[in-house]
Amino acid sequence: MKHKFISKRYWDEAATPMGDAVELAYKYDDIINLSLGDPDLITDSRIISEAFKDAEKGHTRYTDSLGYPELREEIALFYKNEFGYELNINEIMAVVGACHGMHLVLEAILDDGDEVIVPEPFFTPYANQIKLSRGKLISLETYEQEGFQINMERLRSLITEKTKAIIINTPNNPTGACLSKEVLEQLAEVAIQNDLIVISDDVYGAFSFDEPFIPITTIKGMRERTITIGSFSKDYAMTGWRIGYVLAPEYLIDCIRNINEGVCFSAPSVSQRAAIHAMRLRKELQPGLVAEYKKRVFYAYERINNIPGISVLPPQGSFYLFVNIKKTGMTSAEFCRKLLDEAHVLAVPGNGFGSCGEGYIRIACTVGVEKLGLAFDRIGFMLRTLNL
């Protein structure tokens, strides 16, 4: 909105799909909210208990600006045990969730006008984050018929002298696609040949269903040109704790730490303690969490493909499904509005994730199977009235 007290940079800013979803969630008393990726499962009681014990012991003050050494040691141990990847704790920084980490990273690497290639459909906040850092987002379209994988010829065609970085997100939000090892290796080759940085948003790493998750930083030649962003939000059902981390060469970590002194200095101490315990308990906690979301996603996949007029690819990862609604003849926004008003189910229009998301909607399987079943009963009834 235009106002003399608002910077002119924001006068033309429109509401985001995520912001709209928050408000629309209150429209009906019986709404089934499949819009935001906020799990309905609360953080495991053992994590909460141990974190609060630590708070009572005095862990309520500022931490090291990079985060507790103890947390960074646990993160390093995780990468060593899971991927055989050695990290120094000075290559790790705790941040206030992945979005905070992405903001710091883009501020650190972008000069005015630098271009960042982002495979589309993409996580909505990337666009504003790049803009805030005075960069330019260059969309790399991916398509359902290609499994939403990155096409290297299209990628190469977008690289210019202004290209600084590529952002990847696998498992992907919103499509659920996982980049194959072959694609990651080809992407690494392109990055090395063109001297580019890869920013890897790995927040759904635990939710790779078909193949083991592979961080691109572990691929030969990528360590020095990869910035990894991790989070405890989804992998440990800790969205409200607002805690994540950045992995990068030490000189980059030093830079983002300096930038963060003008933002929030350090991540919350109690949240860092919770993250420590989450990592130590992950072998006990994660299998059940991942199994629950896998059950939901595959249930939703079966239900969707049995409803005339809509379809979806087999799930690969994350807890999102990017549902093709083109046969209905409606736009993504029209479909979501009808879905809300007639079925009382809230989803996000696909074009909110980039223009090639038109003709799709994103649903988040963040409610249990019983509630998902009710949602698809309502969706099926709504679509039957269209005689598709």
Note whether 273 and 173 are same-domain residues. Answer: yes
Strand 244-247 and strand 92-95: the pairing is antiparallel
Note whether 219 and 247 are same-domain residues. Answer: yes
Residue 15: the pLDDT is 65
Residue 64: the pLDDT is 97
pLDDT band at 309 (very low <50, low <70, confident <90, very high): very high
Rounded to an integer, the average pLDDT of 298-319 is: 97
In tens, the pLDDT along 146-194 reads: 999 999 999 999 999 999 999 999 999 999 999 999 999 999 999 999 9
pLDDT at 21 over 60: no
Task: Among 233, 257, 281, give the residue marking a domain's end.
Answer: 281
In tens, the pLDDT along 271-291 reads: 999 999 999 999 999 999 999
Residue 367: partners with Cβ closer than 8 Å, 6 or more residues away: 32, 33, 34, 40, 296, 375
Q: What angle do CA 86, 89, 92 make, to 5 degrees?
A: 95
pLDDT at 357 over 80: yes
Task: Among 281, 314, 340, give the residue marking a domain's end.
Answer: 281
Residue 295's SS3 state is helix
pLDDT at 388 over 70: no
Rounded to an integer, the average pLDDT of 337-349 is: 96
Rounded to an integer, the average pLDDT of 322-326 is: 98
- Token pair for 143: 């398509």
Q: What is the dihedral of CA 219, 223, 228, 234, to 10 degrees?
A: 40
> How far apart are the C-alpha atoms of 349 and 361, rounded to whole Å?
5
Rounded to an integer, the average pLDDT of 203-207 is: 97
Residue 29: the pLDDT is 87
Query: Rounded mean pLDDT of the chain?
Result: 95
pLDDT band at 19 (very low <50, low <70, confident <90, very high): low
Residue 230 resides in a domain: yes
Q: What is the CATH number of the domain that holds 150?
A: 3.40.640.10
DSSP state of 85: -
- Token pair for 369: 């199977």
> How far apart are the C-alpha atoms of 16 and 36, rounded to whole Å?
12
Residue 22: the pLDDT is 59
Note whether 99 and 172 are same-domain residues. Answer: yes
Note whether 72 and 165 are same-domain residues. Answer: yes
Number of separate domains in the chain: 2
Rounded to an integer, the average pLDDT of 351-369 is: 97
Residue 365 resides in a domain: yes
Note whether 258 and 295 are same-domain residues. Answer: no
pLDDT band at 386 (very low <50, low <70, confident <90, very high): confident
Residue 326: the pLDDT is 98
Radius of gyration of the chain (CA): 21
In tens, the pLDDT along 236-270 reads: 999 999 999 999 999 999 999 999 999 999 999 99
pLDDT band at 16 (very low <50, low <70, confident <90, very high): low
Percent of the chain with pLDDT over 70: 96
Residue 3 resides in a domain: no
Residue 388 resides in a domain: no
Task: Among 281, 302, 337, give the residue marking a domain's end.
Answer: 281
CB 113 within 8 A of CB 135: yes
Residue 216's SS3 state is helix
Note whether 288 and 156 are same-domain residues. Answer: no
The boundaries of the domain holding residue 92 are 45-281
pLDDT band at 14 (very low <50, low <70, confident <90, very high): low
Rounded to an integer, the average pLDDT of 18-23 is: 61
pLDDT at 25 over 70: no
Note whether 229 and 297 are same-domain residues. Answer: no
> How far apart are the C-alpha atoms of 12 and 10, rounded to whole Å?
5
pLDDT at 50 over 60: yes
Q: What is the CATH number of the domain that holds 33?
A: 3.90.1150.10
pLDDT at 124 over 70: yes
